[in-house]
Amino acid sequence: HFQSVLKKGKSFASANMKAILAEFESKLNESNEAGASDFNAAKKAEKAKAKAKKREEMRAERKKLLRERREKQLSAVDEVEEEDFIEFTGEKKAKGAELDFDAEGENDGG
């Protein structure tokens, strides 16, 4: 709107007034460009912030999934070790039960 007012003002103004209006128009254009660039910079910063937030959320989710997977693997290993231990001790008892020792600790051969 200011541009149209300035154009109309220049057509009816004197030479001195035209110079003042031209200077005012250039300042108006500069501030408009600066405002537009600030607006664009703010928009760009907002997008970058949103991307960074999303990236951080994804990183946290990935860490959580890896931690859960690691815990699941460790619990599976613990279960296998426990089963192996039970089997191992069970075999020992079975072998020990088959052997027949006399009072002096010597094997009679079964």
Distances (CA, A) of 11 to 14, 25, 28, 105: 9, 14, 19, 127
| Winning range, highest mean pLDDT, from 26-30, 61-65, 106-110 | 61-65
Q: pLDDT per residue over 41-92, tens digit each? A: 889 999 999 999 999 999 999 999 999 998 888 887 777 666 666 665 555 4
Residue with tokens 């991307």: 51
Average pLDDT over residues 24-30: 86
- In whole angstroms, give the CA distance from residue 96 to residue 4: 107
Q: How many residues does the chain have?
A: 110
- In whole angstroms, give the CA distance from residue 34 to residue 76: 62
Q: pLDDT per residue over 1-14, tens digit each? A: 677 877 777 777 78
